Structure 1
Amino acid sequence: MQQIRKIFSATKELKRYYIAIGCFTVFSALLTLLLPAVTGKVIDLFGQGEDFDISKAVFYAAVIFLADILYNIITNVNGYIGDQMGFHVRRILGNKYYEKLMILPQQYFDNEITGKVVNRLERSVGQISDFLSAFSNNFLQFIFSTIFGLVVIGFYSLPVALFLAALYPIYIFMTTRSSGLWMDYQDKINKNNDMAFGRFNEAISQIRAVKSFNQEQRELNYYQSKLAKIISLVRPQSKHWHISDFKRRLVLNVIFFAVFCFIFIQGARGALTAGDAVALILYSNQIRIPIFTISFLVDRTQRVISNSKDYFDVIEKADEERNAQAKNLHVHDGRVEFKNVTFSYDDKTQVLSDLNFTIEPGEKIALVGESGGGKTTITNLLMGFYHPDNGQILVDKQNIADINLPSLRRAVGAVFQTASLFSGTITENISYSKSSYKKKDIVAAAKAANAHQFINKFKKDYDTFIGERGLKLSGGQQQRIAIARAIFKNAPILVLDEATSSLDSKSEILVQAALDKLMENRTTIIIAHRLSTIANVDKILVIDGGRIAEQGSPKQLAKSGGIYSQLLKMQKDGADIEQLKKYDMVG
């Protein structure tokens, strides 16, 4: 029940809905008690023969009529409130989940598939919302009807009331005893479901790659295999559940047989009037329905417990480390220092070891090194996506460990190899870093990024919708929008995961010109993929084994006979392409 408590705790702002539903449910449960009692009274009237009182019969009929109308009103109002509550549950839990994702560390996303993250939200929140709606609209009604029904039955026959009351612990015990295996199956079903829809989401988002490699059938086969696995788990799960349910219902049938025999015998002996006997039978049947419904309630409860585990696993994960006493970063010059920085990922493989270097204000440095050697890790550490195991990273002599993360990230602009654009308009993408802006600043950024000319060719120019991840634009256009976004942000420190490596020559020239404009008067770190594009940087750092193997200007390193010099020679000779690829170089 811990998961159920978590659900109600997470939605405690809906307390007024819960109270309203509870009150209306009590009223409707009380109304259901009228029909058996009134029916019993009417049957006793039939036995009066010539003394039959028509006015009483009409009165009882009117009571039933009015009770039905009132019950109809209450149940529909209650249902309306329950539906509204269900929507708010989705809103609250969805917001909490999304908010949590926004403050989880980068490491979480590095180890997760996007589709799984999305499917987990839809599956968990959907089940929780359905459970609360069903609980408010049905289960509460059954609970109160049973309690009130047992009290009324006690007035007619205490043995029958006690006997029926004993059914509940017996039935619940039988149900919970069989639930463990069901839960094991459900956990496996959820896992395969997340894998299936995670891959589904991934394949759709990469549909061009799927089609270009003719792998449509492969993706379909994977998806179908996971669904087939789910079906193979559903069969024994369903079989187990229904066999258990048959056994439970059989026990109840036997017990109710005994109850009805007792009522009939008591009626035949004269201990009960005909009306009282009928009323008892009707009340017993009213209680019988909720008892049978317990299995449905337990089924729903088990489903929500199983599905909400994944939701709360995410909610309860540790947030991105943020120092409560952190200060805002004040960048005056843009000087960056790495002092004795050591870093390793979860697998404890050390990526950076005792790293030391300084980037002077306005200086442009390039990182060169083997793939997986730590180049991207350096920029990730600078932007606060990860934290060093040891050492310090300073910006204008301020340790970023003591700096407010949003403040740090406002000071660092980035252009990645993939443009990372969003569905929306060109204006929305360029202005992404700021909530308020002037159109002239958007245009100025686009002009500086060599993007204004092609934007003006679109019918809606800056209001053009560019599609998911900017897929309606060419690669070069995407990169120029990304550069315009960085120019618009106007951060004093810049990170470039070189954006020209996958472009054609014409696009490369335009993008490189935009990058040159962007780098003016900014402290810049470039992750190099083309040696030709870093020929004019101020300094090159060659990373090898998590350490700086050599550093200096391009001219100095070209003459050193070291790694950079060897790479230049390989590129010039057009030889040993695999060795170049080892260093993330594409030519």
Structure 2
Amino acid sequence: MQDVDWDEDDPFEEQRENIDSPMKRLIFEYGRPYWFSVTAGITGSVLARLLDLIPPILLGVAIDAIFLQQQAFSIRFIPDAWLPTDQTEQFALTVAIIALSFLVGAAFHWIRNWGFNSFAQDIQHDVRTDTYDKMQRLDMDFFADKQTGEMMSILSNDVNQLERFLNDGLNSAFRLGVMVIGVGAVLFTINPQLALVSIAPVPLIAVFTYVFVKKIQPKYAAVRSSVGKVNSRLENNLGGIQVIKASNTEGYESERVDDVSRKYYDTNWGAINLRIKFFPGLQVISGIGFVLTFLVGGYWVFAGAPGPFTGTLEVGQFATFILLTQQLVWPMAQFGQVINMYQRAEASSERIFGLMDETGRIEENAGSEPLEVTEGRVEYDDVTFGYSDAETIIDDISFEVPGGETVALVGPTGAGKSTVLKLLLRLHDIDDGAIRVDGQDIRDVSLPSLRQSMGYVGQESYLFYGTVEENITYGTFEASEAEIVEAAKAAEAHDFIENLPDGYDTMVGERGVKLSGGQRQRVAIARAILKDPDILILDEATSDVDTETEMLIQRSIDRLTEDRTTFAIAHRLSTIKDADQILVLEGGEIAERGTHGQLLDNAGLYSHLWGVQAGEIDELPQEFIERAQRRTARTEAGNDDD
């Protein structure tokens, strides 16, 4: 098993570097439709926190005016004429206002939580679905270069990081902001001189936080990248668990998981180590404000104004100051948590938009018309294609398939057969030349109409987790039960399906693991038959069935291909010997073409391949064997595509 360089750069690093202000983009691009919920959350947060200031303010008033009676009973924003003069009534009014502030405040707390949670969940949903939709529409070149686990990490972990900030972080930011501004305003109203003492640590907190942000930002970006690498390794191993068990390499794979997990551990611990130093330090600095307030204010109460301070400070005012300063200290300490969540979310949003802004080679022209298939005639006109500029897979091939005929593509492994048909589906775009269906260039028609007109059965026969019926009807969701059964019978699948525990409702397992390879292929063929496409593409469609089942499926395929254009790839040449036209590919070029009989008479590559399958190995020319050895070496080196 080839090892992977897990130390390579983030696969989306180039895109991330081009992302400007990702959090601003997130809020304005995805948050705008949900302005009502976030406005409700902000309003609820502001009003709830303002109401939280009422109890400590009224406590100070009660101490000085009711209990000690050192000043007149007065409540800001309520005219004195409305206030009672009796001590008991003043006390009752104070209790009632405090109780009402808690009750109304609870309602605003609910509104705040509803607003921010709704806002976060809506954006999280939209970002995840938009990112997935953009990703699945990229061409196959993108998926060939990216690890599945890396993309899963973005769609899951990174999107969840956004939700944490938009809910908890944004909520906390407004809550703390209101507390700092509100408390500060009240403190300055009561005693501006002592208020300056309380907020003295704020500049130091700002500098401390700035340094933290500068150091933590690159660490969180590295953590998000390392999470993707862990997911990629785990996804890769779980997908190949059968090979791991059969190869007795559990220990080897455990070491590889341990290695990539250790790298994540080291990266994450670097961020954690910085974070756990920052928060206690921030709390100490914030606590300085409380200690100074208590020291100066306490001395002021019992000994008079200290040093440069002037005026008097009543006991109730001092009590209010102590309570509010505590509420000021805590938000300043908590502000570091908000910065921490923001940095995590920013690192995640860079990765999300890096994936979302990924561009593919395949672009659908604006105003593309739907493909109209009349005859099903397909033409390849001087087609050239390579996965990169330095690598040519298909080199200047041309052929034409009249509507309703069957053309077979054969050749040694790595000749480019599958690639030729993937170009017809526009899973990749050609570099030069043109491919036409009934005279229409496939680059000028809409992708949905192009692919809807074609049925594809690949050699891997991928099945989705679900029932047999759901897999047969995939892409033809409106099919009736009778049509499903008819398609299954045509694919020689009905009998084995009926013998399954729950028939057509049997769950096939992850990737169809509960079915044999041959059963999966017959379900995939039934899916293509049910679609009733104008053009049928069979890429090693019977590679995983035994000879007897292949004969039965071949009969069904022969009936299926009677009235439609069909492309077939097969290594077992006996399955395509009746094709109207056979193209023999070698090195990305058409080496021979003709019918089965004509190609045998030519005594070229096709006849040699036929001889191999007929067991006539001793009669093969030495030149053919040497070329086969060279082709095999190139294929094993990963330089060719089938």
Normalised TM-score (structure 1): 0.92
Q: Please report how far the alpha carbon of residue 235 of structure 1 lies from its aligned counterpart in structure 2 after TM superposition.
A: 2.6
Q: Deviation digits for residues 39-83 of structure 1, max 9, x if unmatched?
A: 111221332389993332332223222222222332234324443
2:24 paired residue number = 5
Q: Which moved more, 1:305-314 or 1:538-547?
A: 538-547
CA deviations over 1:164-209 (Å, ceiling 9, x no partner): 5675554233223233332322222222221222232333344333
CA contact (8 A) 1:105 1:321 kept: no
Deviation per residue, 1:197-254 (Å, 9 max, x gap): 2232333344333333333333333223222222222333222233344444444344
- The equivalent residue for 2:82 is none
Q: In structure 2, what is the Cα distance between the partners aligned to 1:24 and 1:247?
A: 31
> Residue in 2 aligned with 1:404?
446
1:33 aligns with: 53
* Amino acid aligned to 1:29: R
2:411 alignment partner in structure 1: 369
Paired with 2:376 and 2:52, the residues of 1 have a C-alpha distance of 75
Please state if 1:90 is matched with 2:131: no
Render the CA deviation track for 1:364-412: whole Å, top value 9, x for unaligned: 2222234333222211110011111111111111111111111111111
Q: List per-residue Cα deviations over 1:514-564 (Å, max 9, x = no partner).
A: 333332222122222222222222222222332222222222222223222
1 CA distance for matches of 2:210 and 2:567? 60
The 5 Å alignment of 1:44-123 reads 44=64, 45-48=66-69, 53-123=87-157
State how far apart, in whole Å, the 2-side matches of 1:445 and 1:50 are: 93
Letter of the 1:421 partner, please give it.
L
Q: How does 1:384-463 map to 2 (within 5 A)?
A: 384-463=426-505
C-alpha contact 1:370 1:544 (8 A) present in aligned 2: yes
CA contact under 8 A between 2:289 and 2:329: conserved in structure 1? no
**Matched residue of 2:393: which SS?**
strand
Contact 1:196–1:222, Cα closer than 8 Å, also in 2: no
- Select 2:180's aligned residue among 146, 157, 160: 146
Secondary structure in structure 1 of the residue aligned to 2:528 = helix
8 Å contact kept, 2:45–2:112: yes
Match of 2:268 in 1: 234
Secondary structure class of the residue paired with 1:333: coil
How far did 1:326 drift?
0.7
Which residue of 35, 39, 42 maps to 1:22?
Answer: 42
Contact 2:508–2:515 under 8 Å retained in 1: yes
Compared CA separation, residues 182 and 50, structure 1 to 2 (3 A):
closer
The CA deviation string for residues 460-513 of structure 1, in whole angstroms up to 9 with x for no partner, is 332332222222222221111111111111112111111223333333333333
Kept after mapping to 2: 8 A contact 1:333/1:361? yes
Q: 1:91-490 residue pairs with structure 2 within 5 A?
A: 91-161=125-195, 167-168=201-202, 170-267=204-301, 268-269=304-305, 270-318=311-359, 320-346=362-388, 348-490=390-532
User: CA offset at residue 301 of structure 1?
Assistant: 0.6
- Answer with 50-59 or 97-106: which moved more: 50-59
* % identity of equivalent residues: 31
Q: 2:272 is aligned with what amino acid?
A: S
2:124 and 2:160 in contact (8 A); partners too: yes
CA deviation after TM superposition for structure 1 residue 256, in Å: 4.5
Partner of 2:14: none
- Contact 2:500/2:506 (CA < 8 Å) preserved in 1? yes
The 1-side partners of 2:593 and 2:267 are apart by 59
**Is 1:21–1:82's contact at 8 Å kept on the other side of the alignment?**
yes
Alpha-carbon contact 2:43-2:112 (below 8 Å) kept: no
Instruction: Select between 296-305 and 44-53 the one with higher mean Cα deviation.
Output: 44-53
Is it true that 1:573 corresponds to 2:612 in the alignment?
A: no
Distance in 2, Cα, partners of 1:178 & 1:141: 22
Cα 1:209–1:577 change in 2 (3 A) is farther
* Helix, strand or coil at the partner of 1:339: strand
2:536 is paired with a residue of what secondary structure? strand
- Partners of 2:123 and 2:190 lie apart in 1 by 42
C-alpha deviation, 1:343, in angstroms: 1.4
Q: CA deviation at 1:279?
A: 1.6
What is the CA–CA distance in structure 1 between the aligned matches of 2:363 and 2:174, rounded to whole Å?
43
* Deviation larger for 91-100 or 475-484: 91-100
CA contact (8 A) 1:412 1:492 kept: yes
SS of the residue 1:413 aligns to: strand
Let me know the Cα RMSD of the aligned residues.
Answer: 2.7
Cα distance in 2, alignment partners of residues 161 and 524 from structure 1? 84
CA distance in 1, matches of 2:255, 2:547: 39
Give the secondary-structure state (helix, strand or coil) at the position aligned to 2:63.
Answer: helix
Q: Distance in 2 between matches of 1:395 and 1:162?
A: 79
Aligned equivalents of 1:230, 1:318: Cα separation in 2: 29
Deviates more, 1:293-302 or 1:237-246: 237-246
1:224 is aligned with what amino acid? D
**What amino acid does structure 2 have at the position aligned with 1:316?**
D
Query: Counterpart amino acid of 2:566?
Result: T
Taking the aligned partners of 1:50 and 1:200, their CA distance within structure 2 comes to 71
Q: Distance in 1 between matches of 2:493 and 2:551?
A: 13
Q: Is the 8 A contact 1:338 1:357 kept in 2?
A: yes
Kept in 1, the 8 Å contact 2:369–2:446? The answer is yes
In the TM superposition, residue 33 of structure 1 has moved relative to its aligned partner by 1.4
Between the aligned partners of 1:499 and 1:377, the Cα distance in structure 2 is 15
Deviations 1:296-323 (A, max 9, x none): 0111111111122211111222365111
Query: What amino acid does structure 1 have at the position aligned with 2:41?
Result: I
Amino acid at match of 2:347: S
In 2, Cα distance between equivalents of 1:563 and 1:173: 76
Q: Distance in 2 between matches of 1:577 and 1:12?
A: 66
1:541 aligns with 2:607: no
